Amino acid sequence: MVMFLFLVIALAVVVAAVTLAVVGGGDSGPLPDAAPERVRDVLPPDRPVGRGDVEGLRFPLVVRGYRMADVDDALGRLGAELAERDARIADLESALAGARAAAAQRHVVMDKPAPEEGQ
């Protein structure tokens, strides 16, 4: 019986403390919303992204992982730069293939034996 009485008193004390904390929170009201932590744009806007930029990229954690908009922005930027680099590589490879073909054609033309005059 003493244990039951102790539990009832402890429960009453806890309920009273929670009630005072909620009701008597002061004049300030609820806590203001904190500004969401955003990723600092560490990807350089004035030059192509390098390996060190990607390795240094860190996203702030939120309740369920990472902020989707920050990750989407970074992946979009990286995808655009990779597509631009791929196009530049393709242009350079086609120019190189054209230059090699022209050089090979000149080499073949130069290697033709001169026609003999005495025949």
- Write down the domain spans for the chain: 37-110
**pTM for the predicted model, two decimal places:** 0.49
Residues of the chain with pLDDT under 70: 24-32, 34-41, 108-119
pLDDT at 66: 82
53 contacts 44 by C-beta, under 8 angstroms: yes
Q: What are the angstrom distances between the C-alpha of 1 and each of 4, 5, 6, 7, 10? A: 5, 6, 9, 10, 14
